[in-house]
A and B are shown apart, each in its own frame.
Chain A
């Protein structure tokens, strides 16, 4: 089954880190990503730009409404994701717990809707 790991964290945390700490953070994520690859479970992954760069779009009555800012304005924002393919939820949760984002933020795990399984 595929699961999307959505990493939520406080964006101001990153800018408050020293360069050395940032380097450590990048290395931790690099190691985690490599571990997912080695295990053969990584489908895709990306880090997102800050939510200040977000734009929301909603179409109503055929008209597109475009707004500056993220969909939900909260302290912790979606900062990146991993898409993994593992046997079951327990395996997905075990990988989630190993992700650095679970320690400095919160990760929401969602199963992917299998279009063939209904």
Chain B
């Protein structure tokens, strides 16, 4: 195996140590998810794959400074991780080794030996995501599990983002990985006929991670900002690996639209800037263009869904800012469609506010009051804020539907995906961009 330059005859210089670390860092950044996914799929065990890979990285930091960095660091790491993994399996098995374990070892051996460089590693990341978001895994742990398994985030970082204690998060992650192994959850992309249903779980978990990042009330928490970037990476990964799935494209479009407004969302002092008052010049035009292109591609696939609709709302908002014109009719239409899909009272509330713009506060109040019958809104602070605003005269702007400053991290807080004011703007629609029929069984209520 070709080696890069190192110190003289086995001694290690500071330079070679630094070079080893920087190579290891670079490999971790570009290939961690692929390596873990490959190992996990072969070993059918996420935790064991993570352990084996982390041991391989540790071995690399000891070996590379002495012997030079290998030409194919990914292949080197896989070979070592495979050996560590086999050791681990042997340690855990007492007495007879079952046939299935022997078979796993053989498969792992064969698979790892054919990998010459990182491009040759079969990409099992999607299979890993589907395992993490399997219906048999508790819905609340799917997003954290994905972030850890595919991106290697530690439990502490994830816990901070999801407002949990590191201990509790670590235990829940451990239990989920144990379930994947012991219950025999498959590492595979579901067959065509069940793909749509299973994909929802993956997309919802990614969106939950993204919304957690957005829910940082001060907009100043570095860990949370990072999490939105990680979620965007996952969404991009899924959209890239499933380019024919319109909802995967729709989710990425939706998230890019929200991300494009990041700089406009806070003043220099960190104060929240409502959507309607944001400086359009601060929006990221390239990101918006990418989002629009994705949404167009999604709509051409002819199967509408929740994330395309949410992206359409965002797209419409961009249109409004460009033209300076407000047309509430299409917005109400998008909310009609979203409501039909999700049955979510939060969507119904936002729809009412759009109707307020179109028909005045009286019509909206009737809807809002009728929504009170839905017990799920009783503890939802924005509901009361919206109602108060409708009762006030003159008719206020719709931004107070979900004032971001009012959210507190209490158990009564609805799922963050529904509470994040900029992720789900209540804006206007280029509904005509999105075509297709609405399936009746796509979405569950979010609140």
Mark A residues whose CB is within 8 Å of B.
1, 3, 87-90, 92-93, 111, 114, 116-118
Contacts and interface: CB of A to CB of B under 8 A. Distances in A.
Contact of B95 (A87, A88, A111, A116): A116
B183 interface: yes
22 contacts: A87-B184, A88-B185, A88-B186, A89-B134, A89-B136, A89-B184, A90-B185, A90-B186, A90-B188, A90-B190, A92-B184, A93-B136, A111-B183, A114-B98, A116-B93, A116-B95, A116-B98, A117-B93, A117-B98, A117-B100, A118-B93, A118-B94
Interface of B: 92-98, 100-101, 134, 136, 182-186, 188, 190
Contacts of B190: 90
Contacts of B97: 116
Given A1-B184, A88-B184, A88-B186, A116 B136 contact: no
Given A116-B93, A117-B93, A118-B92, A89 B98 contact: no
Given A89-B136, A93-B136, A116 B184 contact: no
A116 B96 CA distance: 6
B101 A117 contact: yes
Contacts of A87: 184, 186
4 closest A-B pairs by CB: A116-B98, A88-B186, A1-B184, A88-B184
B45 to A, nearest CB: 11
Contact of A111 (B101, B134, B182): B182
Nearest to A111: B183
B156 to A, nearest CB: 29
Contacts of A114: 98
B313 to A, nearest CB: 35
A111 to B, nearest CB: 5
Contacts of A3: 184
A89 B135 CA distance: 11
A89 B179 CA distance: 11
A13 to B, nearest CB: 27
Given A117-B100, A118-B93, 17 more contacts: A3-B184, A87-B186, A88-B184, A88-B185, A89-B134, A89-B183, A89-B185, A90-B185, A90-B190, A92-B184, A111-B182, A114-B98, A116-B93, A116-B98, A117-B93, A117-B98, A118-B92
B341 to A, nearest CB: 24
B277 to A, nearest CB: 49
A90 B184 CA distance: 8
A3 B184 CA distance: 10
A117 B182 CA distance: 10
Contacts of B188: 90
B138 to A, nearest CB: 14
Contacts of A111: 182-184
Contacts of B134: 89
Contacts of B186: 87-90
Nearest to B93: A118
Nearest to B130: A90
The winner among B92, B101, B183, B188 for most chain A CB atoms within 10 A is B183
A83 B376 CA distance: 41
A1 B100 CA distance: 9
B100 to A, nearest CB: 7
Contacts of A90: 185-186, 188, 190
Nearest to A93: B136
Contacts of B93: 116-118
A118 B45 CA distance: 13
A88 to B, nearest CB: 4
A92 B96 CA distance: 26
The winner among B93, B134, B184 for most chain A CB atoms within 10 A is B184
A88 B98 CA distance: 16
B259 to A, nearest CB: 34
A88 B100 CA distance: 12
The winner among A90, A111, A116 for most chain B CB atoms within 10 A is A90
A63 to B, nearest CB: 34
A112 B341 CA distance: 39
Nearest to A116: B98
B195 to A, nearest CB: 12
A1 B184 CA distance: 7
Nearest to A92: B184
Contacts of B136: 89, 93
